[in-house]
Amino acid sequence: MKRVIDHLIIYVGAAAVSALSVIQVQEGILPQAAGIIVYVLAAVLLAAACICLYQDLRKGVIERIVLSIKKTSFGARFLEDYTYRTILTTMPSFVINVAYTVYNGVIGIMNQSAWFITMAAYYSLLGIMRYYAVNTERKTSRMEDEKLIRKKQLSVIRTDGFLLLLLNLALSGVVLLTIAKGTAKTHSDIIVISIAAYTFYKITMAVLNMVKVRKMQSPILITIRNIGVADALVSLLTLQATMLASFRETSSVDPNRMNGITGLAVCILIAALGVSMICYASKRKES
């Protein structure tokens, strides 16, 4: 047991110090000497974490950790109930949406910036959609009338489908402002690579999860996963704008044209998701 705890401490420490090192590269919040210490510590802990992971995979420690988690009622439900796990893991995304909405809204009003106000509108819609889906699932989980449950679930997927179409208006504003005013932020190579890695991971998981819930035919899960796909697509658009802005000097690509083309494609895909959700609700309501 002590070995398991030690390895968990190393994993958490490596993740925390790595995150701090990325923040240090981007923001420079620590003095130079302290920053060097953080980088060295991150390298050491990441190497130790890799060694621990190799050992755990060989000796089946991870399987034992999973079995230990399953012994608790919360852990068993989290690992075995896909719907419960999806709802629970959606809450952090909702909190992030609220934080981004407040941040962009305050900055936009203080600086009279159309860009930040538009981003605040985008994140607020995303947060509303996620909250509506999660809150409805929480309420219906206590109901026993299957027809009423189904009715409320179909109402969620239809309403969020319309909100996705409304979200496209905010997204169109973001694309137009990016092209017209060049509002994309520039970052260092390391930060851009980190953002790219996370974005492609986000897109891969969003698509896999969407395919999975399609087979389960749960309106709430389909809604949440479609929102995740829309969020991932916008992240892809943001990544492209960031890369074009950061590597402008070494690239011959016209950033306005590329952002316009990708922005149009993302808007079409998100609109398609919204329409598919509305059609899904209509067909299931009639059947």
The DSSP output letter for 184 is P
Cα 79 to Cα 89, 107, 222, distances in angstroms:
12, 40, 19
Cα–Cα distance, 56 to 77 (Å, whole number): 24
**Separation of CA 75 from chain center:** 23
Tens-digit pLDDT string for the chain (287 aa): 666 677 778 888 888 888 877 777 666 777 777 777 877 888 888 888 888 777 766 666 666 667 777 777 777 777 777 777 777 777 777 787 788 788 878 887 887 777 778 778 888 888 888 888 888 888 887 777 888 888 888 888 899 999 888 888 877 877 777 766 665 566 666 677 777 777 887 888 888 888 778 777 788 888 888 888 888 888 888 778 777 777 766 666 677 778 788 888 888 898 999 999 899 888 887 65
Largest CA distance in the chain: 67
- Supply the pLDDT for residue 25: 67
Amino acid at 171: L
Please report how many Cα atoms fall inside a 13 Å half-sphere around the Cα of residue 111, on the Cβ side.
12
Please report how many Cα atoms fall inside a 13 Å half-sphere around the Cα of residue 133, on the Cβ side.
34
Question: Does pTM top 0.75 for this prediction?
Answer: no
